[in-house]
Amino acid sequence: MNKMLTGAVAATVALSFVAEASATEWNVSVWGKRRAFTEHIEKLAELVSEKTNGEFTMNVSYGGLSKNRENLDGISIGAFEMAQFCAGYHPDKNRLITVLELPFLGVSNLKEEVAVSHAVYAHPAVQDEMAQWNARLLMTSPMPQYNIVGTGEPRDELAEFEGMRVRATGGLGEAFAAVGAVPTSVTSSEAYQAMESGVVDTVAFAQHAHLSFGTINQAAWWTANLNPGTVNCPVVVNIDAYEALPDAHREALDSSVDEAIAHYLANYGELLKKWDSVLEEKGVAKIEISDAELAAFREKAADPISKAWIADIEAQGLPGQELYDLVETTLTETKATN
């Protein structure tokens, strides 16, 4: 009887050990609060848990694990297993994906943004660069073209951008600088305070961020059609953590990306439908920039900045022209299927 009891206990302990060993818990570092920008991460966590019967779970932390500018560093040292970051926060660390932040690329919707981002992410040179940070690119966080909200009188002519202090990062910051504005790269979380205190006159964001970070509440006007470009914010996983996953858990993760992105696009689409009513409710004027002014902006910002980016990347022995061409061909192919 004692032998039977001992055997039963041993079996229970063994089963418990196996169950514990097969469980996977990941920490995910994002920032701000839950919003349209993070819905694909929340959906991914939900799908992975469902597919693994709760054996693979993700704890999504909004600022509790790291500052947004330090998320890639955290991934590199294994401080957490998954994180979201924006290329413009540290372009020296992720030089190649900044091709996606060049101004006036011609991306017109979120589907196209996903296509060009994932094409660039799949390029071997891009993967090699991210591997230096022990990071594997998992999916993008597609955002619409940025537009600016501002205080004071509306700025609907290029000449009025001269000296304008604008919160804009990466290629967007360069585009505004090309027409005489003064860009600053305060973080998204700091943008409201910068606007409130007068450190900046205007803030360039996608619609969800104007809502989430409160800049819409400081705004007197919003540019409806400036559309100079957007920022690129990948979701990455720590390579060691990814490779250590049991096969079933890795399959659950990989197979959930497309569905998570589809959920994100549907959710963002609903937000865009409500945008005009948000402007009206908050008394924010909707400003249209003339075609002539937009053409002048493109002439000063698009080709010169793109050519300079390509030359700089090529000078470092990296495929700048190849990546720029990849964006253009992917965009053409995607537009043909719209």
Domains and CATH numbers, the chain: 25-142+231-271 (3.40.190.170), 147-228+274-301 (3.40.190.170)
- Please name which of 244, 205, 213 lies closest in space to residue 63, comparing C-alpha atoms: 213
Parallel, antiparallel, or unpaired: how do β-strands 285-287 and 221-223 relate?
parallel
Q: Report which of 31, 22, 75, 81 is spatially closest to residue 53, judged by C-alpha positions.
A: 22
Contact indicator for 85, 234 with CB cutoff of 8 Å: yes
In this predicted structure, what is the pLDDT of residue 9? 42
Q: Which residues contact 189 (CB under 8 A, 6 or more apart)?
A: 31, 32, 63, 68, 213
- pLDDT in the model for residue 324: 98
Beta-sheet pairing, 235-238 with 82-84: antiparallel
CA dist., res. 165 & res. 183, Å (int): 6
Tens-digit pLDDT string for the chain (338 aa):
444 444 444 444 334 444 445 799 999 999 999 999 999 999 999 999 999 999 999 999 999 999 999 999 999 999 999 999 999 899 999 999 999 999 999 998 999 999 999 999 999 999 999 999 999 999 999 999 899 999 999 999 999 999 999 999 888 999 999 999 999 988 888 999 999 999 999 999 999 899 999 999 999 999 999 999 999 999 999 999 999 999 999 999 999 999 999 999 999 999 888 999 999 999 999 999 999 999 999 999 999 999 999 999 999 999 999 999 999 999 999 999 97
Distance CA 166, CA 191 (A): 10
Rounded to two decimals, what is the model's pTM? 0.86
27 beta partners? 59
Helix (H) or strand (E) holding 112: helix 110-121
Q: Is 98 left (phi over 0), alpha (psi -120 to 50) or beta?
A: alpha
Per-residue confidence (pLDDT) for residue 187, from 0 to 100: 86
Question: What was the pLDDT predicted at 338?
Answer: 76
Q: Report the C-alpha gap between 221 and 288 in whole angstroms.
A: 10
